[in-house]
Amino acid sequence: MRAQVFIHHTEGGCVEVSVVKQGLSSGAGHKYNAVGEAKAVLLAFGFDAGLVDHQLGVLAETAPCVLLRFPVVDIADDVLRSFGFTAAIFQAA
């Protein structure tokens, strides 16, 4: 699935990873208690480790709820499912 991925951190310190199918305005998100968990998901989505580390570094310096965008990427459906990104919106579009 071709998708846009966003990250932000919450007031409680969690990192949220959101996946939006290209052409849609909303998608699925998951919160992770540890930055390492979010990093593992982003790497599994196929992003370069340097880009992930850079974005997570920027995230650490931003206010909560500021969205950081990753480049559009093709993510295999089985990879999305393995991390629980199975929103009905993905199948409907």
CB 17, CB 42: distance < 8 Å: yes
Total-model pTM: 0.87
Instruction: Please write the tens of the pLDDT for every residue from 20-58.
Output: 988 776 778 899 999 999 999 999 999 999 999 999 999
pLDDT in tens, 54-86: 999 999 999 987 999 999 999 998 999 899 887
DSSP string for residues in the chain: -EEEEEEEE-TTS-EEEEEEETT-S--EEEEESSHHHHHHHHHHTT--HHHHHHHHHHHHTSPTT--EEPPPEE--HHHHHHTT---HHHHH-
pLDDT class of 90 with cuts at 50, 70, 90: low
Chain centroid, CA 44 distance in Å: 11
Task: Return the higher-pLDDT residue of 12 and 39.
Answer: 39
Whose tokens are 């699925």? That residue is: 28
